[in-house]
A and B are shown apart, each in its own frame.
Chain A
Amino acid sequence: MRDRTAVVGIGTTEFAKELPSTERRLALEAIAAALDDAGIRPDEVDGMSCYSMESTEEIDIARNLGFGDVTYFGKVPYGGGAGCGVVGQAAMAVAAGQCSVAVAWRSRKRGARSSRPWAGVAQRVGGDQQRWTRPFGLLRPVDEIAVLTRRYMHTYGGTRDHLANVALAARRHANANPAATMGHKVLTRQEYLAARWISEPLCLFDNCLETDGACAVVITTTERARDLPQPPALIHSWAQSLPAQHQTMTNFFCDDPLRGPAWACAEKLWSLSEVGPADVDVAQLYDAFSPLVILSLEGYGFCERGEGGPFTDDGGIELGGRLPVNTSGGGMSEAYLHGFNLIVEAVRQVRGTSTNQVADAGFSLVTSGEGVPTGAILFRRDD
């Protein structure tokens, strides 16, 4: 399906720490904005794709917006790992002819219990991810990633300065993005190093934001995209991965826990692409936690194993650097919506409309969560 489908509309609500609207209303606003951007009427929509953790319902979305007869609807699991699969599967449905115009969305409120499954655990914890970890106080996603991060630092000599590079790049990019919730706040390395711990070796600024908001995209065929108002972001290739013997988040029970799902996803992605990592102009790498960006730089082949930290040195992932990463400010400084705002920003880069625009961006990568079953999309400008 290479280059046969495209994202033709993007929409976002306001992002804030707390918004009065419901998740349903936020989803409707974002999808309506994306359709408006695409120049496509709601009654033309016949495909729907969202996260399994999404609390808004397809029937509700469809009848509020006035969709036509929907002939494809699907959901992708694993929270922050889902986003690229949500869009990729919608595109696959379009390419296969199961629908002609699909919308994909994520609406999330930080206070919503459905968004924070670990906050509502009962006294007795079951399931392979929790039973063997929660009783001992490994309670939150940040604790699980802290274990991997310390091992990574021990194995490869990674430092807190590398993690700081990720947080600072995101913040500098957010400072140029009026929509970013942290856009008005400068972050210095001194502030990073002095911040309180959340789960050592990870501090406050190694964590993503907590955000209320919603994002949506519209996907259709490349053929139709060329008649629509926006420059199409062609879906050059996309991939998902749930690697052999993987256990989500607490993948400590295998030979090589530091080799996460990004590796298998990258292998599939590049096998479906005409280009490789060296051809990517800009990347949005899922950043619920700063070390995931470093692991993703390695997994997607931008550097060798263990070299992700040094890759971030000297502005390596900032605008003008080796590979500008998370140019909207990402989950750490724009908004955390399970990575869906990263997809919107990846589209902006091939449109040429980012507030941190990479000059002449032809290939724009976006990835979903590392450490969980994941996905990635390589967008291409329609030259």
Chain B
Amino acid sequence: MHEGMLLPELDEESAPFFEYAAAGELRVQRCAACGTRRVPPRPMCHTCGSFEVEWERLSGRGSIWSFAVPHPPLLPAYAAVAPYNVVVVESEEDPAIRFVGNLVGSADGPLDEIDPSTIRIGEPVEVVFSSPVDDGGGPVVLPRWVRAS
């Protein structure tokens, strides 16, 4: 984590995800009426039309579905650590529930901590949570991913 990184703007639907992250929990929005999971979180269930939601705690384990390794030109804060990885992690509970994040060596490690040439699709990972980052707009905790122990 470093100065100048973009942080998510929180709204009614997304804020709970980051509040749970701050408590060290990876949770996914689920329809309270029919149980359909939704990523990213949004107001309404496309299966049954309910607006009622609950937040299901996931194990935090999954595997790398794919990844990119961006090189400049990039926003300055990202160019400074490029090339770095961006992974898409498939949760072990539901292959359609995926999260975009970074494979790091430790919860607060820099984006370029892992040599991208060592990353493989399918490798098992588990979630960790960053220290709170604050750009002046309030602290945000981001989920990050480490190789499964």
Interfacial residues, chain A to chain B (CB-CB below 8 A): 121, 123-126, 128, 131-140, 143-144, 146-148, 150-151, 154, 196-200, 245, 247, 250, 252-255
Contacts and interface: CB of A to CB of B under 8 A. Distances in A.
B135 interface: yes
B95 A135 contact: no
Interface in B34-78: 39-40, 42, 46, 65-71, 74-75, 78
Nearest to A134: B6
Sorted nearest first, the 6 A-B pairs with minimum C-beta distance are A126-B9, A146-B68, A151-B66, A200-B69, A124-B9, A197-B71
Interface string B78-116: 100001101010000001111111100000000100001
A199 B65 CA distance: 17
Contacts of A146: 68-70
Nearest to B88: A252
Contact of B142 (A126, A135, A151): A135
B5 interface: yes
B137 A123 contact: yes
Contact of B86 (A138, A151, A255): A138
B6 A138 contact: no
A253 B40 CA distance: 8
B95 A255 contact: yes
Contacts of B78: 137, 139
A132 B84 CA distance: 17
A143 B68 contact: yes
B70 A253 contact: no
13 contacts: A123-B135, A124-B137, A128-B42, A132-B40, A139-B6, A146-B70, A150-B66, A151-B121, A197-B83, A199-B71, A200-B116, A253-B97, A254-B96
Given A121-B6, A150-B66, A253 B39 contact: yes
Interface residues of B, number: 39
Interface of B: 5-9, 11, 14, 39-40, 42, 46, 65-71, 74-75, 78, 83-84, 86, 88, 95-102, 111, 116, 121, 135, 137, 142
Given A131-B40, A199-B68, 9 more contacts: A121-B75, A123-B137, A131-B14, A132-B99, A138-B68, A139-B74, A143-B86, A151-B121, A255-B96
Contacts of B75: 121, 139
Contacts of A245: 46
A197 B95 CA distance: 30
Nearest to A247: B40
B71 A196 contact: yes
A88 B14 CA distance: 37
Contacts, number: 118
B11 A126 contact: yes
| Residue among B66, B71, B135 with the highest chain A CB neighbour number at 10 A | B66
Contacts of A198: 70-71
Contacts of A151: 65-66, 88, 121
A143 B101 contact: no
Contacts of B46: 245
A147 B9 contact: no
Given A136-B101, A253-B98, A255-B96, A147 B68 contact: yes
A150 B119 CA distance: 12
Nearest to A135: B6
A146 B68 CA distance: 5
Given A136-B86, A150-B121, A197 B96 contact: no
A132 B38 CA distance: 13
Contacts of B99: 132
Nearest to A125: B6
B129 to A, nearest CB: 13
A231 B3 CA distance: 59
A148 B83 CA distance: 18
Contacts of A253: 39-40, 96-98
Nearest to A126: B9
Contact of B7 (A125, A148, A199, A247): A125
Contacts of B116: 200
A52 to B, nearest CB: 22
B142 to A, nearest CB: 6
B8 A135 contact: yes
A253 B46 CA distance: 14
